[in-house]
Homo-oligomer: A and B are copies of this chain.
Amino acid sequence: MAEGPRPKRRREEEEDEKPGAAPHDGAAAAAPFPLAELRLQRVLRESARDKAVFLHGEVTGPSGEGTDAVIILEKTPFQEEKLSDLLKKHVKLELQMRNDIYSTYHLYPPPELSEIKTTVVFPATEKHIQKYLRQDVHLVRETWEDYTQITLPFIQSQSFSVQWVYNILEKKAEADRIVHENPDPCDGFVLVPDFKWNQNQLDDLYLIALVRRRDLKSLRDLTAEHLPLLRNILREGEEAVTKRFGIAPSRLRVYLHYQPSYYHLHVHFTALGYEAPGSGVERAHLLADVIDNLAADPAFYQKRALTFALRADEPLFHKFREAGRA
């Protein structure tokens, strides 16, 4: 799995290269990758939304030995200046379906308008291949009983470290990044930019509110007792984002994850226009809804089933499967 087993192959490849053939960009050069001779081993992953596919292939060398390659194919965004050509110069236009004012077609454009971005990793190690390999994802619908009998024992058996959270709360790290804090030990929190946001543009704004108290793992621990804390986070967090970044509350998505990636209660603030990973209905819970649910029923999250997705290789998924619940 690790990079370990195959470093030698890469060094051999580099030694084979002719220094004189270096292209203008100064990188080590070679003939174009022999794409047509690639033997397709399997599809590692595909993304229908992104129109991309990740392939594992093998190239046979002169002495008959196979060398692994990873190939990423991705269709490219439309270019505005080529749209007229695309509409006019199609090779074929096939009617697929017609209903009322709507119709759909298959349009086949000429090659020069159909560029596919192709990325080659060659030679590829096992680690490269694993990196792009998709695992199946399954929905689990966790009842309160599932939580107490499967999920909670699992969380407790793992020693998930949240030292990095404590470092922020104690100002041992990222103290200069704090956007807002409420010092109350019970109903207080710290708001910081998420690691995923580089803060260069507001389009993908992403902040995290970390609660000060350390006894709340997730949504499942919340009761009406926590309403003051949750209302503080929503109101003060929105105000702080408006003040610092000029983004109005109506342009912010404020939510919790279930399952979270770490079991110290936290709330996500993302720009509404940014479809942040994890903002889908199968993982995100709007803080405003959580507050209303707890106000209507103080034990809402100790009663109700919650749906979430797990990768087939995750230990928690195995626990659900062993229990016959997935």
Known: A118-B106, A118-B107, A281-B284. A253 touches B139 (CB 8 A): yes
Contacts of A113 in B (CB 8 A): 114
Contact A104 B118 (CB under 8 A): yes
Among residues 261 to 309 in chain A, which have CB atoms less than 8 Å away from a CB atom of chain B? 271-276, 279-286, 288-289, 292, 296-297, 304-305, 307, 309
Contact B163 A251 (CB under 8 A): no
Query: Is residue A121 contacting chain B, with contact meaning CB distance below 8 A?
Result: yes
Among residues 24 to 80 in chain A, which have CB atoms less than 8 Å away from a CB atom of chain B? 25, 27-30, 32-33, 35-36, 38, 40, 43, 46-53, 55, 57, 71, 73, 75-78, 80
Contact B289 A307 (CB under 8 A): yes
Among residues 162 to 204 in chain A, which have CB atoms less than 8 Å away from a CB atom of chain B? 163-164, 167-168, 173-174, 177, 195, 198, 201, 203-204
Known: A48-B203, A49-B49, A289-B307. A23 touches B95 (CB 8 A): yes
How far does the alpha carbon of A106 sit from the alpha carbon of B32 in the complex, in Å? 11
Most chain B CB neighbours (cut-off 10 Å) among A51, A121, A204: A51
Known: A272-B138, A275-B275. A107 touches B284 (CB 8 A): no
* CB contact between A116 and one of B109, B122, B174, B177 (< 8 Å): that residue: B109
Residue of B nearest to A163 (CB): B100
Known: A48-B201, A93-B118. A27 touches B253 (CB 8 A): no
Among residues 101 to 149 in chain A, which have CB atoms less than 8 Å away from a CB atom of chain B? 101-124, 134, 136-141
Contact B100 A117 (CB under 8 A): no
Total count of chain A residues near the partner, CB < 8 A = 121
Contact A139 B250 (CB under 8 A): yes
Contacts of A99 in B (CB 8 A): 25, 27, 164, 167-168, 173-174
How far does the alpha carbon of A300 sit from the alpha carbon of B130 in the complex, in Å? 41
What 0/1 pattern do residues 206 to 246 of A give for CB contact below 8 A with B? 00000000000000000000000000000000000000000
How far does the alpha carbon of A121 sit from the alpha carbon of B99 in the complex, in Å? 10
Contact A280 B275 (CB under 8 A): yes
Interface residues, chain A, with chain B CB atoms under 8 Å away:
10, 13, 23, 25, 27-30, 32-33, 35-36, 38, 40, 43, 46-53, 55, 57, 71, 73, 75-78, 80, 83-84, 86-88, 90-93, 95-124, 134, 136-141, 163-164, 167-168, 173-174, 177, 195, 198, 201, 203-204, 248-253, 255, 271-276, 279-286, 288-289, 292, 296-297, 304-305, 307, 309, 326
- Could you jot down 5 A-B contacts, CB within 8 Å? A48-B201, A48-B204, A48-B273, A109-B114, A280-B284
